[in-house]
Structure 1
Amino acid sequence: MQLIGMMDSPFVRRVAVSMAVLGIAFEHRSVSVFRHFDEFRQINPTVKAPTFIDDDGTQLIDSTLILDYLDLRVAPESRLMPPALAERRRALHLIGFALAACEKTVQIVYEQNLRPQEKQHAPWLERLQTQLAAAYDTLERDVAMLGTGAWLCGDRLMQPDITVAVAWRFTQYAIAGAVEPGRYPGLAALSQRAEALPAFVGAPLE
């Protein structure tokens, strides 16, 4: 199995961390969609990260689709998504807002770093920042209800914890200072606890 993409992508990193937690061995290939565009295109003509290549050569793209497949490769008790409907709905709620935070962070990075300053659209950037804050406001309320030291969907680390923690670390890394940790103590604490785990340490943000 191969995972193609850079760990500075939260979508690549959530797959890498999840595979480590699931105990699924894989080869990570650090190929950038920007710096190694032609190389990536030889692997996947859509140049989309992450790209997952299974042992038989089948390619999967989109982190959520990859993780859905990988979750079914392991025993039910080891899966990272809860099976019961109510718990699964809560997990999807948390993952959805965390992925929204990732997407808005990426859009802000593109607007600020890839577009010349004279062509940046201030109202659009303000809207993105408002949406980003709303995603983290929602997640903070959910985290705060659980109390200190709890995981989001039970007594062990699961996919919502991984995705929320990866999203938070990515935002703090990519647009430092844009989201103040002091405003989100629950998320900051969850991230700190998750980032200390071997699965996260083994997939460092590059």
Structure 2
Amino acid sequence: MRLIGMLDSPYVRRAAITLKLLDLPFSHESVSVFRTFDQFRSINPVVKAPSLVCENGVVLMDSTLIIDYAETLAGRSLMPATIDARQRALRILGLALAACEKAVQDVYEHNLRPPEKVHQPWVDRVDGQLARAYALLEQEIAATRVPADAAALNQADLTTAVVWTFTQALLPGRIVADQHPALAAFAAAIERFPVFTAFPHA
């Protein structure tokens, strides 16, 4: 299998780490949706990262759908099996993905849109959603134990760390680490796992 996309995308990175944790063989190709648009389009005409080229040539896209396929292929899931634990993991995962979506929107607004085209009420709304997602995520992670090793990671843990690292790298000072101590410590611990250092935020 071939995973297409840059590791500076939190969606590509969470897919890559998941595939590795599931012990699925794959190659990673750092193709950018911006700098190498035409090359990406030749692989997936929709130009959406991540894209997964399956062994039969079928191209899948969207990290959550790629992870669903990968877990089916591996015959195991990174989500808890019991209903209470699964509900809590889904709550954390939903907050992390909401924070990710708003962080990406914020990056696009400030880095891709000309300043004269920025609509400040929209930016304020996105920033508010981002702040609230992280405030709620901080509460959840404050009550969460740091996994002892990569084998103990679930998808909520994995995605939370990836999204935090992305936000800190691309939006420095927007979500202050000192105001989110549990998240900062949690992500820092997970980022030291070999499976994370093997696929670093680029």
* Normalised TM-score (structure 1): 0.92
Q: How many angstroms does 1:32 deviate by?
A: 0.5
Matched to 2:118, the amino acid is: Q
The answer for the alignment partner of 2:131 in structure 1 is: 133
Contact (CA 8 Å) 1:33, 1:49: kept in 2 or not? yes
Superposition pairs for residues 48-127 of structure 1, below 5 Å?
48-76=48-76, 79-127=77-125
* Contact 1:165/1:195 (<8 A) preserved: yes
Counterparts of 1:1-206 in structure 2, within 5 Å, are: 1-76=1-76, 79-146=77-144, 149-151=145-147, 156-206=152-202
What percentage of aligned pairs have identical amino acids?
49
Structure 1: any 5+ residue segments left out of the alignment?
none
Q: Secondary structure at the match of 1:110?
A: helix
Cα deviation 1:3-48 (Å, max 9, x = unaligned)? 0000010000001111122222210011111111111111111000
SS in 2 for 1:52: strand
Normalised by the length of structure 2, the TM-score is 0.94
Q: 2:62 and 2:93 mapped to 1: Cα distance?
A: 14
Q: Give the Cα–Cα distance (whole angstroms) in 1 for the partners of residues 62 and 108 of structure 2.
A: 19
- Inter-partner Cα distance in structure 1 for 2:117 and 2:51: 32
Amino acid of the residue matched to residue 102 of structure 1? Answer: C
Q: Is the 8 A contact 1:104 1:131 kept in 2?
A: yes
Quick check: 2:107–2:170 contact (8 Å CA) kept in 1?
A: yes
| 1:75 Cα deviation from its structure 2 partner | 4.5
Q: Tell whether the 8 Å contact from 1:71 to 1:81 is kept in structure 2 after alignment.
A: no
Q: Matched residue pairs, number?
A: 200
Bigger mean CA deviation after superposition, 190-199 or 83-92: 83-92
Mark the CA change 1:195 to 1:150 in structure 2 (over 3 Å): closer, same or farther.
closer
SS in 2 for 1:73: helix
Aligned with 2:73: secondary structure? coil
Q: For 1:150 and 1:175, locate their aligned partners in 2 and report how far apart those are by CA, in whole Å.
A: 24
